[in-house]
Amino acid sequence: MITYCHLKNKIIYKEKFEELILKQELKFNLFSEKFDINEKTILLLLKKLEKFEKDKKYLKEKITLSKLSADFNSNTKYLSKIISLYRNKGFVQYINDLKVDYLISLLHKNKKIRNYTNKAMA
């Protein structure tokens, strides 16, 4: 019985995964056609965004769309459109959400930080 449930769940999860991949590919193709951005450019910028998030470069002070696009060797329009579509938010909200998520993870990991004021954490 347990094996049957496991196999059934495995099939269901595989179908859901394939459906999500298909949706992402469709979204990618529609985006590249709609905004006339080269697929290689989209993939390159998405990889750079992932590295940016992984390296926590969003914690730099006074980060702007123009500075980030210059770091990525891109233009602000492409980067803004890609963030808007793939992160579902504007640039400022994207950066703020990354910072808030980082702070929340810090609060979970380090109990000493919980004693700081909001101003000190900001």
Mean pLDDT of 16-36: 67
> Residues 53-84, buried b or exposed e (16+ Cβ, 10 A)?
eeeeebeeeebebeebbeebebeeebbbbbbb
- Split at pLDDT 50, 70, 90, the class of 111 is confident
Q: DSSP letter at 56?
A: T
Q: What is the pLDDT of residue 26?
A: 61
pLDDT digits (tens, 9 = 90+) for 29-65: 655 556 677 888 888 999 999 999 999 999 998 899 9
Q: What is the pLDDT of residue 95?
A: 95
Structure tokens at 13: 């999860």
Q: Is the pLDDT of residue 72 over 70?
A: yes
What are the boundaries of each domain within the chain?
A: 1-35, 37-121
Burial of residue 112 (number of CB atoms within 10 Å: 0-12, 13-18, 19+) = exposed
Q: Is the pLDDT of residue 90 over 90?
A: yes
Q: Is the pLDDT of residue 1 over 60?
A: yes
